[in-house]
Amino acid sequence: METELTKSTFSCKLGILSRPDGSAILSKDNTTVIAGIYGPIEVKLQKLLIDKASVECHYRPKSGLPGIEDRMHESIIRNTCEASLVASLHPRTAVLVAIQELQNSGQLISCAVNAVCLACLHAGIDMKFMFGAVTCFSNGVEMSLNPPAQTHIKAVFVFVFDSTEKRVIASHTKGIFTKEQFEEAVELCRSGSDQVFDYYKKVLTN
């Protein structure tokens, strides 16, 4: 079981976009995503919530129009933001999350989630906790946080954790795996999330 998530494979720059309130471009290995946060902003009447801000998420793939899988990406990111943002401070408004995929080498969801968290931090939006995502790969025998050759991948696990208690707040799986492999993947990703949160602190400090 490979537990090391090499910090040097991360690359990030905050404030890459001028129009959003907060933005970040994040690369992990050969996966790169840009995220922008707008808000709180005025919300359309049909999406207005009287007790909290609503969260809208728009994901754009590298090329072409968004498809079913891209809508799934939006759902994971939106649910993560709804769980982490202090939306009750801004009722009758909306927080808009925009994500642009630039390159995908197999860690797209976790890279997008982490870019959104950094963009939220850059925007100064009130949050209950930071959130960090880690992708784990299985070749049927061993688990790894670093993607093996595509032909050897039997299952892919993505888990999003909060920074306070390391609870799983969102997950996505793909492939064939056993219950024991699922539980092993959770713990491996939870361990890897420590380095994600450490990287956040490094970026914000710099």
The pair of three-digit structure tokens given for residue 152, joined into one six-digit string: 């050897």
The DSSP call for residue 187 is H
195, 12 Cβ separation under 8 angstroms: no
Please give the model's pTM, rounded to 2 decimal places.
0.91
Q: How far is CA 82 from the centre of its chain?
A: 13
Alpha-helix runs per DSSP H in 56-178: 68-84, 108-123
Tell me what pLDDT residue 42 has: 82
- Residue 43 CA to residue 18 CA, distance in Å, equals 21
Contact 89, 39 (CB under 8 A): no
Show the tokens assigned to 22: 């907060």
Per-residue pLDDT in tens (0 to 9) along the chain, 206 residues: 333 444 448 899 999 999 999 999 999 888 999 999 998 888 777 777 888 888 999 999 998 888 898 899 999 999 999 999 998 888 888 899 999 999 998 899 999 999 999 999 999 999 999 999 999 999 888 898 987 666 678 999 999 999 999 999 999 999 999 999 999 999 999 999 999 999 999 998 87
Note the pLDDT of residue 150. Answer: 65
pLDDT for 116: 97
**CB burial of residue 4 (10 Å; 0-12, 13-18, 19+):** exposed
Cα distance between residue 111 and residue 129, in whole Å: 18
Strand partners, 131: 162
Structural domain boundaries of the chain? 7-205
The hierarchical CATH code for the domain 7-205 is 3.30.230.70
Give the closest residue to 174 by CA, choosing from 76, 78, 35, 81. 76
Predicted local distance difference test score (pLDDT) of residue 22: 95
Report which residue type is found at 109.
Answer: I
